[in-house]
Amino acid sequence: MPDVDSASDKDDLAVRSQLCQHLAFLYPEANAELLADEVISIFDDLKQQRPLPLHQLWSEKDCMLITYGDSIVDDNSVPLEILQQFLHGHLNDSVSAVHVLPFCPFSSDDGFAVIDYTKVNAKLGQWSQISEISDQYRLMADIVINHVSSKSQWFRNYCKGVEPGASYFIEAKVGDDLSAVVRPRATPLLRPTETANGMKHVWCTFSHDQIDLNFRNPKVLMEFLRIIRVYLQRGVSIFRLDAVGFLWKEPGTNCMHLPQTHEVVKLIRTVTDSFAPGTLLITETNVPNHENLTYFGNRNEAHVIYNFSLAPLLVHALLTGKTEYLKRWMMSMPPAPVGCTYLNFTASHDGIGMRPAEGLLSDEEQFEMVETVSRFGGKISTRRTADGGQRVYELNVALFDALRGTVGGEDQWQVERFLCSQTVMLGLEGIPAFYIHSLLATPNDQQGVAATEHNRSINRHKWNWPELKELLGDDQSVHSQVFHELTRRMQLRRSHAPFHPNATQFTLQLSDGVFAFWRQSSDRSQSIFCVHNMTDTTQELRLSDLNLIANDSWYDAISECRFDDQTAVLEMTPYQSLWITNR
């Protein structure tokens, strides 16, 4: 038998060597071996282990819910308890993972200006309730890694000139050439700040309450590794690296996706693979598609990346009835590398990002989307460009209301159009993720926008729990109709192997108003043809165009309608979806 201790020692040495390589690249003037020892000491109570086999990372049974801790509230319980009740009573057979958006004390941006990463916001609940969710579901948490609240102790210490914090932030001079820096906001990049050492100007990519951290200082990296260790202890098994593309700053560059940023992601991947196998990393990089794809690295960075281009292209197709842009993107998307996959989503706590549509939709097509969504009550957020101009950054709108009609105006097909959008997402390569307000068909929250004066509040409604339960129990309620049909389709998906996140996918070329793709199980025993009418008119589907295998029996898994005649011509009603399968 092999010497177990010897094998373990070899693993330990390999991990230490790998950490040294990462750290030497990031901090060439520091002692990489001492830094590696510090990293290992942070996780010293976790035994180093081999990564899980790739086939155990995810399956067709995986589906995620995205929610704030207080998306549902009432007066009798803390929100995290209400969330558990909602999950147990309504989603127990539908989702396997839950992304609880930032749950720490914060000062702005609905949680993304973190005051203390090690505490749970008392208004939401406590750590025990976070851990209870992780007992039943894979729990995803945000590591808001690029910046911290101006109310944090680190920044307070910076202003006083004491550690920890005095060396944790990025200073610049007003005259520095920062014109190439990519920004998601139109506010000034530098914030004047009075400190014990005089007036300083600190870097703020997002807002003046969100102060960028200086990862040139290895102490900052160590702080975040300790935070990751705390979260692992509390049951978090999926880490979302928020706004990670902005992490490393080099004046004179655009400060996006720099080599050091990728190296930090690789280092975190090494740590989690070694000390907590099965932990997943997801990078949040709301950027053009070709930039986003780089975060797979050489299968050594993110396990999962967001499919950011899906939302704007899908909404465009449903608003216009034109599928050419969606098809072109689908055909150009590479299969995820082995051991990696996509996270598919159509709505989130933010808006529908338009940067991922750059190079995929023309300016004219984007303008038409902006005009249409605005007519349906949506708001528009912009970003500053390098030449001083502004471009649309995102469409702020509840997805249910974004699909209220088409470019021609409102119509009677809102529910069908919306269900079509979610069914497309369910069928695609990758793991589907449902924002809670999509599941609940929540409309635009205009009162929320008026109260906060922030466009993103339009899609961050807080439901009253007794009211929501009543609506979900009312068959005549649009919220009930959408929720129950979506959860039915989510449960259907779990029983079909071709919906494995890494199963084969091929885009089909049917009529322009129809978007279709083929999925096949890894053992090739089952196929599913996912066919969607993206228009407000009836579309013909010739089953012969799908080349169905003659000896198999085919049926639509959604409607359970069987097709005995494989030469039949089907009439697809507006926004109808079919999952034509042989099992």
In tens, the pLDDT along 466-475 reads 999 999 999 9
Does 387 show up as a binding residue in the annotation? no
CA dihedral 40, 42, 45, 48 (to 10 degrees): -30
Whether residue 207 is contained in a domain is answered as no
Residues 227 and 288 in one domain: yes
Give the tens place of pLDDT for each residue, 134-155.
Answer: 999 999 999 999 999 999 999 9
* Residue at a domain's end among 468, 499, 530: 499
Does 440 show up as a binding residue in the annotation? no
Whether residue 13 is contained in a domain is answered as no
* Residue at a domain's end among 459, 477, 499: 499
Whether residue 171 is contained in a domain is answered as no
Does 456 show up as a binding residue in the annotation? yes
Whether residue 17 is contained in a domain is answered as no
> What is the domain count for the chain?
2
Residues 259 and 407 in one domain: yes
Residues 495 and 572 in one domain: no
pLDDT at 432 over 80: yes
Describe the crossing of helices 478-494 and 465-472 by its angle, rounded to 10 degrees: 70
Q: Could you give the C-alpha distances from 531 to 38, 423, 543, 546, 568, in angstroms and in order? A: 53, 10, 11, 10, 15
Neighbours of 463 (CB within 10 A): 21
Residues 251 and 360 in one domain: yes
Residues 459 and 524 in one domain: no
Beta carbons of 51 and 277 less than 8 angstroms apart: yes
Does 461 show up as a binding residue in the annotation? no
- Provide the annotated active-site residues: 242
pLDDT band, residue 56 (cuts 50/70/90): confident
Beta carbons of 430 and 336 less than 8 angstroms apart: yes
Residues 128 and 219 in one domain: yes
CATH number (domain holding residue 263): 3.20.20.80
Whether residue 561 is contained in a domain is answered as yes
Of residues 534 and 288, more confidently modeled: 534
Beta carbons of 99 and 489 less than 8 angstroms apart: no
* Residue at a domain's end among 499, 517, 551: 499
Does 488 show up as a binding residue in the annotation? no
Give the tens place of pLDDT for each residue, 158-190.
Answer: 999 999 999 999 999 888 889 899 888 878 999
pLDDT at 2 over 50: no
Does 349 show up as a binding residue in the annotation? yes
Which residues constitute the domain of residue 120? Answer: 54-150+212-499
Residues 345 and 325 in one domain: yes
Whether residue 41 is contained in a domain is answered as no
Percent of the chain with pLDDT over 90: 88
Residues 508 and 495 in one domain: no
